[in-house]
């Protein structure tokens, strides 16, 4: 996307919405709007794929770790309410625009895709305690009776299932590299022989991931607060509870392990560094695979809705834009660059949106049964 020329201070038709990240120099991402440009600064040092080899990479890692930390996202002192509302105009609340979303879905099969952490459950310091509420579980269970529903998470599939505990859903763990269909209770059938969907995109990397996990557990013992999580096809190193002055040390520890594994890559999310296989697979690919499994690969009457809060969910948002079908909904309290069309602020708003979908769908189901 082309960057704009320097914005004239007297050009009132352009809104300058700045999101600053501490200790990072901004570059300008622009989105065309009816009134001109919304100009959003993002950290140049946020790196989706962190380079493992080469001089000076550790400082780049640490800068990127700072940039992706939720606690560092803050509006500038001169950010006016008008500017914030301008971002909301471009990514309006999915609750406020619920009728608009429903109108767009008329005559189409809605398929729901939900991230877990930060979407169905709040972000917490201890990733092992990221429990969803009973009310959210009840809502998602009802949702699955109305629409095909999948959980797409960076977590190990078994771990996210232990949190959700709903057998009627599709689960795509390890950023979509480990997918399985409903064990029971789903009225939505997969294409094929009748066996449930089961797909593992990176099975040949299992032994390598095991090795890296064991080494990282040992290496990071010296860094208080660091937590290494085995997510089957990827390894997550959580630094949410690590003092910032120790981030450089943690980055050195991770690099010392990964430099021996050229077939793995390092990515990041919200206060987590993730080691993944170097295959072309992500949450967007998982979304496409699940739509194909449900028989919607080339259909024009499908309406996928993907709700997520993390950088890794952007791959799915982009796929929906490229397909020209459905919508992405970003869960965030802060304006930021996204390919999502709508926004929600927190898991409580996600639950309210899902409840409205169920309430809208159930009367139409009852009418069809008369």
Catalytic residue positions? Answer: 115
Q: How many CB atoms lie within 10 A of CB 311?
A: 17
Measured distance CA(337)–CA(277) in Å, rounded: 26
**Strand pairing report for 342-344 and 19-21:** unpaired
Q: Give the Cα separation of 39 and 103 in Å (integer).
A: 30
> Token pair for residue 143?
């949702």
- Residues counted in the chain: 370
User: CB within 8 A of 261, min separation 6: which ones?
Assistant: 208, 212
- 3-class SS at 303? strand
User: From the DSSP assignment, how many helices (H) and strands (E) are in the chain?
Assistant: 10, 18
Distance of CA 212 to CAs 123, 192, 259, 268, Å? 26, 36, 11, 17
Q: How many CB atoms lie within 10 A of CB 127?
A: 18
């Amino acid at each position: 996307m082309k960057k704009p020329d320097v914005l004239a201070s007297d050009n009132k038709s352009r809104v300058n919405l700045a999101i600053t990240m501490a200790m990072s120099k901004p570059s300008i991402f622009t989105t065309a709007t009816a009134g001109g440009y919304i100009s959003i600064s993002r950290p140049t040092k946020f790196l989706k794929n962190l380079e493992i080899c080469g001089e000076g990479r550790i400082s780049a890692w640490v800068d990127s770790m700072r940039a992706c930390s939720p606690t560092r996202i803050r509006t500038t002192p001169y950010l006016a309410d008008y500017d914030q509302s301008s971002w909301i105009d471009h990514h309006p609340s999915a609750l406020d625009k619920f009728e608009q979303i429903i109108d767009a879905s008329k005559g189409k099969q809605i398929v729901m895709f939900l991230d877990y952490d930060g979407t169905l459950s709040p972000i917490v310091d201890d990733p092992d305690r990221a429990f969803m509420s009973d009310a959210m579980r009840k809502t998602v269970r009802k949702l699955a009776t109305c629409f095909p529903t999948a959980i797409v998470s960076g977590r190990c599939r078994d771990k996210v299932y232990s949190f959700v505990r709903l057998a009627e859903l599709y689960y795509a763990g390890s950023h979509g590299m480990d997918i399985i269909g409903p064990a029971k209770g789903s009225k939505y059938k997969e294409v094929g022989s009748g066996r449930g969907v089961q797909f593992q995109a990176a099975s040949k990397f299992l032994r390598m991931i095991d090795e890296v996990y064991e080494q990282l557990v040992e290496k990071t013992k010296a860094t208080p607060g660091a937590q290494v999580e085995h997510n089957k096809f990827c390894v997550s190193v959580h630094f949410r509870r690590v003092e910032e002055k120790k981030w450089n040390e943690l980055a050195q520890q991770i690099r010392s392990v990964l430099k021996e594994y050229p077939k793995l890559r390092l990515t990041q999310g919200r206060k987590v560094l993730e080691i993944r296989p170097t295959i072309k697979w992500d949450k967007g690919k998982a979304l496409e695979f699940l739509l194909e499994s449900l028989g919607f690969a080339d259909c024009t009457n499908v309406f996928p809705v993907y709700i997520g809060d993390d950088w890794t969910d952007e791959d799915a948002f982009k796929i929906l834009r490229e397909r020209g079908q459905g919508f992405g909904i970003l869960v965030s309290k802060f304006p930021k660059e996204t390919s999502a069309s709508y926004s929600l602020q927190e898991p409580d708003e996600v639950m309210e949106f899902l409840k409205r979908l169920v309430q809208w769908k159930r009367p139409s189901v009852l009418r069809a049964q008369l």
